[in-house]
């Protein structure tokens, strides 16, 4: 599945070379298999394992994003899409914005 | 587009217009609204706050404290829009403080300089170097990373007033939002700081001081400020200060965010609680006077900035840090920076790294 991931509000600092936009090919199911449903929960696990290079606690708390990190799926608040259970489709754009960083 | 399950984006309509797809769940009200209605309610609520609290009068000169961060950037944009739309009749300026932090403040000031052009608001920059002959880079060399936030917080509050005086403005507005104020209420309760607790929820502070400060975003949630900036593609800077890389891990902020996740209304409820505290009339409050050295407002003979500066200039930078100066006056009730500094020390003593687990 091809997804575009965007990190903002300072979250990009946790990623390699502080890159904001990542076009990834991944299978964000909970067990990584081809057959399961791709959900935000699986994606968070994948991002934590594959993209976050430092201070993962700034991004993840328990199974979810850390409170204070906003998530948009195709420019829609993930709280309207089912949150962790939101299903992802090919070519979705997922944006993570931190409200925790800042001068 | 294939038929989507009910939780897919776009399947719900805005509860306000009933026409467009909902894009956002408002934390204050839990309403699901579209982008266009979000702009309307966001701006109208801020306008309502400004009018209900009589923050401005026609003809006033108003300085917007501009750090380049999300709150001040959105504040500059929205205040400029509302000033035009509702004919407040204000002369607006951007006022930035240059703390002299290489690799951080110079980058964020570039953002404010772009905002000056984008929004058409004149920008004034005041530096610690000009005012105190010390940059934060110098101060950190003298004192180290611990406690440097105390210097910066004290100097910045005073620098903002001095910059505002140079601009000859009538008011200063800052981008403190509802989350910031709820956090400050909690910190002041935990510290037992009665003087600050009694005023940290005031939407206008310092009316008896040099220049009043207003917080038009007092009831505006941080989530909405960020979403507004994102949807409007506003240009802001969001790297944390290099001298306090762990400041964002303050326990109170994390606690506020955990509460917000469980019950978003908690932020407004904490502010309401703060507003409703009643201090016994027999409790002694610090008396406000002026510093005998620089004339700035102070409840002691020397203001906090002069005490700290005296220490720096004498090669005794830790003078002015510590319990004996507790309660030393600043110009306003927002003790956020010093609070974070003290809070960090407290949480390390607890050995919990400032984190509560639920």
Q: Is the per-residue pLDDT at B338 higher than 60?
A: no
Q: What is the pLDDT of residues B124-181, one digit of tens each?
A: 998 998 888 899 899 888 878 767 888 888 897 789 888 999 998 999 999 999 999 9
**Which CATH code of 3.20.20.70, 3.50.50.60, 3.40.50.150, 3.10.20.30 fits the domain covering A2-98?**
3.10.20.30
Residue whose C-alpha is closest to residue B153's, from B322, B317, B303, B337: B337
Instruction: Assess if residue B282 is contained within a domain.
Output: no
pLDDT of residue B239: 64
Q: Is B65 annotated as ligand-binding?
A: yes
Calculate the dihedral angle through the C-alpha atoms of B171, B172, B177, B183, rounding to the nearest 10 degrees.
-110
Residue B30 lies in a domain: no
**Contact assessment for residue A71 and residue A58, using Cβ atoms and an 8 Å cutoff:** no
Same domain, B222 and B335: no
B238 among the known binding-site residues? no
Residues of B in contact with A80 (CB under 8 A): 9, 12, 22-25, 32
Domain total of chain B: 2
Same structural domain for residues B255 and B309? no
Contacts of B37 in chain A (CB under 8 A): none
pLDDT given for residue B16 in this prediction: 84
Residue B350 lies in a domain: no
CB within 8 Å of B54: residues ≥ 6 apart: none
Residues B96 and B50 in one domain: yes
Split at pLDDT 50, 70, 90, the class of B287 is low
- Shared domain for B174 and B128, answered yes or no, is yes
Cα distance from N-terminal residue to C-terminal residue, chain B: 41
One domain, residues B86 and B128: yes
Residue B332, marked binder:
no
Residue B179 touches partner A, C-beta closer than 8 Å: yes
Does residue B254 belong to the interface with chain A, where contact is any CB pair within 8 Å?
yes
- Asked if pLDDT for residue A82 goes beyond 70, the answer is yes
What's the average model confidence in pLDDT over B233-253? 70
Residues of chain A positioned with their CB less than 8 A from the CB of B227? 70, 77
Inside any domain, residue B309: yes
The predicted structure's pLDDT at residue B246: 53
Cα gap B235→B222, rounded to integer Å:
16
* Among A9, A87, A97, beta carbon nearest to B7: A87
- Res. A3: pLDDT tops 90: yes
A81 CB neighbours in chain B (<8 A) are 7-9
User: Do B197 and B326 sit in the same domain of this protein?
Assistant: no
Q: How far is A86 from chain B (nearest CA, A)?
A: 6
Cβ distance of A103 and B69 shorter than 8 Å: yes
Res B268 pLDDT > 80: yes
Pair (B73, B213) in one structural domain = yes
B244 is in an annotated binding site: no
B247 confidence band (pLDDT: 50, 70, 90)? low
Residue of B nearest to A73 (CA): B9
Option in A9, A75, A86 nearest B238 (CB)? A9
Separation between Cα atoms, residue B56 and residue A22, nearest integer Å: 45
- CA gap A39, B262 in Å, rounded: 22
Write down the pLDDT at residue A31. Answer: 62
Domain boundary residue, one of B249, B276, B303: B276
Is residue B306 a contact partner of residue B300, using CB atoms and an 8 Å limit?
no
Mean pLDDT of chain B: 80
B32 interaction partners in chain A (CB closer than 8 Å):
80
Which pLDDT band holds residue B329 (cuts at 50, 70, 90)?
very low
pLDDT at B153: 86
Sign of CA dihedral B66, B70, B74, B75: negative
Domain range enclosing B128? 43-276
Percent of residues, chain B, with pLDDT higher than 90: 39
Task: Give the C-alpha separation, B301 to A94, whole Å.
Answer: 55
User: Residue B349: is its pLDDT beyond 60?
Assistant: no
Closest chain A C-alpha to B174 CA, distance in angstroms? 14
The answer to whether residues B137 and B69 belong to one domain is: yes
pLDDT of residue B240: 62
Band (B282; pLDDT cuts 50, 70, 90): low
Q: What average pLDDT does chain A have?
A: 86
Strand, coil or helix: what is A2? strand
CB contact under 8 A, A101 and B68: no
CB-based contact, B302 to chain A, within 8 Å: no
Contacts of A77 in chain B (CB under 8 A): 23-25, 227
Domain ranges of chain A: 2-98
Question: Hunting for tokens 């959105």 — which residue is that?
Answer: B74
pLDDT at A33 (0 to 100): 60
Of B32, B108, B248, the CB nearest to A80: B32
Q: Would the CB atoms of A101 and B21 count as touching at under 8 Å?
A: no
Low-confidence winner among B121-135, B214-228, B342-356 (lowest mean pLDDT) = B342-356
Give strand pairing partners of A76. Answer: A73
| Contact yes or no for B354/B223 (Cβ under 8 A) | no
Q: Give this complex's ipTM.
A: 0.93
A56 touches B: beta carbon within 8 Å: no
Question: Per the domain annotation, does B353 fall within a domain?
Answer: no
Among B118-122, B146-150, B217-221, B245-249, the least confident range:
B245-249
In this structure, the answer to whether residues B77 and B138 fall within a common structural domain is: yes
Domain shared by B262 and B296, yes or no = no
As a whole number of angstroms, the distance between CA B14 and CA B34 comes to 5
Q: B9 with A81: CB under 8 angstroms?
A: yes
Task: Kindly list the residues from chain A whose CB atom is less than 8 angstroms away from the CB atom of residue B237.
Answer: 103
What one-character-per-residue DSSP string does B22-65 give?
A: P-EE-TTT--EE-HHHHHHHHHHHHHHHHHHTT---TT-EEEEE
List the Cα angle B216/B39/B114 in 5-degree steps: 70
Pick B337 or B256 by higher pLDDT: B256
Domain end among B276, B299, B314? B276
- pLDDT, tens digit (0-9, with 9 covering 90-100), for B10-62: 566 999 899 998 999 999 899 899 988 999 999 999 998 999 999 998 999 99
| Alpha carbon B311 to its chain's center | 27
Q: What is the rounded (10 degree) CA torsion for B315, B320, B324, B326?
A: -170
Query: By C-alpha distance, which of A97, A94, A102, A72 is closest to A1?
Result: A94
For B326, list phi and psi in degrees, rounded to 5.
Answer: -60, 135
Tell me if chain A has a CB within 8 Å of the CB of B238: yes
Structure tokens at B297: 């407002």
Q: Are residues B160 and B194 both part of a single domain?
A: yes
B191-196, Cβ contacts within 8 angstroms, sequence gap of 24 or more: B191/B339, B191/B342, B193/B327, B193/B335, B194/B279, B194/B283, B194/B285, B195/B285, B195/B286, B195/B327, B195/B333, B196/B333, B196/B335
Same domain, B241 and B308: no
Is a pLDDT exceeding 90 seen at residue B230?
A: yes
Residue of chain A nearest B72, judged by CA positions: A103
Q: Tens of pLDDT along A31-50?
A: 666 577 799 989 999 998 98
B179 is in an annotated binding site: no
pLDDT tops 80 at residue B297: no
């Amino acid at each position: 599945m091809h997804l575009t991931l965007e990190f903002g509000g300072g979250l990009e600092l946790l990623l390699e070379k502080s890159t904001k936009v990542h076009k990834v090919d991944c299978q964000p199911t909970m067990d990584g298999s081809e057959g399961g449903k791709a959900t935000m929960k699986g994606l968070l696990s994948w991002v934590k394992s594959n993209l976050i290079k430092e201070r993962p606690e700034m991004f993840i708390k328990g199974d979810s994003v850390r409170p204070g990190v906003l998530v948009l799926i195709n420019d829609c608040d993930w709280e309207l899409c089912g949150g962790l259970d939101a299903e992802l489709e090919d070519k979705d754009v997922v944006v993570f914005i931190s409200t925790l960083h800042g001068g | 587009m294939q038929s989507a399950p009910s939780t897919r984006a776009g399947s719900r309509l805005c509860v306000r217009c009933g026409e467009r797809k909902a894009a956002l769940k408002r934390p204050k009200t839990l309403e699901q609204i579209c982008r266009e209605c979000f702009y309307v309610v966001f701006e109208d609520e801020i306008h309502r706050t400004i009018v209900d609290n009589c923050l401005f009068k026609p003809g006033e000169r108003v300085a917007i404290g501009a750090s380049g961060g999300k709150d001040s950037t959105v504040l500059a944009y929205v205040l400029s829009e509302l000033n035009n739309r509702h004919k407040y009749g204000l002369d607006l300026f951007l006022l930035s403080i240059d703390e002299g932090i290489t690799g951080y403040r110079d980058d964020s000031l570039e953002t404010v300089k772009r905002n000056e052009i984008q929004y058409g608001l004149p920008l004034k920059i005041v530096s610690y170097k000009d005012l105190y002959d010390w940059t934060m880079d110098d101060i950190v060399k003298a004192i180290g990373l611990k406690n440097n936030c105390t210097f910066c917080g004290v100097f910045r509050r005073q620098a903002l007033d001095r910059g505002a005086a140079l601009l000859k403005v009538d008011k200063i507005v800052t981008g403190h939002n509802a989350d910031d104020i709820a956090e400050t209420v909690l910190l002041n309760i935990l510290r037992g700081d009665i003087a600050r607790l009694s005023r940290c929820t005031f939407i206008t502070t310092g009316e008896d001081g040099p220049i009043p400060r207003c917080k038009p975003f007092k009831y505006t949630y941080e989530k909405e400020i960020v979403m507004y900036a994102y949807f409007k593609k506003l240009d802001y800077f969001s790297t944390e200060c290099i001298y306090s890389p762990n400041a964002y891990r303050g326990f109170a902020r994390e606690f506020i965010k955990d509460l917000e996740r469980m019950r978003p209304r908690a932020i407004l409820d904490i502010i309401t609680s703060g507003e409703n505290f009643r201090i016994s009339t027999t409790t002694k409050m610090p008396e406000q006077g002026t510093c005998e050295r620089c004339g700035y407002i102070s409840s002691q003979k020397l203001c906090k900035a002069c005490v700290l500066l005296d220490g720096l200039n004498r090669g005794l930078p830790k003078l002015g840090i510590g319990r004996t100066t507790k309660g030393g006056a600043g110009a306003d009730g927002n003790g956020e920076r010093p609070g974070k500094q003290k809070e960090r020390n407290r949480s390390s003593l607890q050995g919990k790294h400032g984190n509560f687990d639920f």
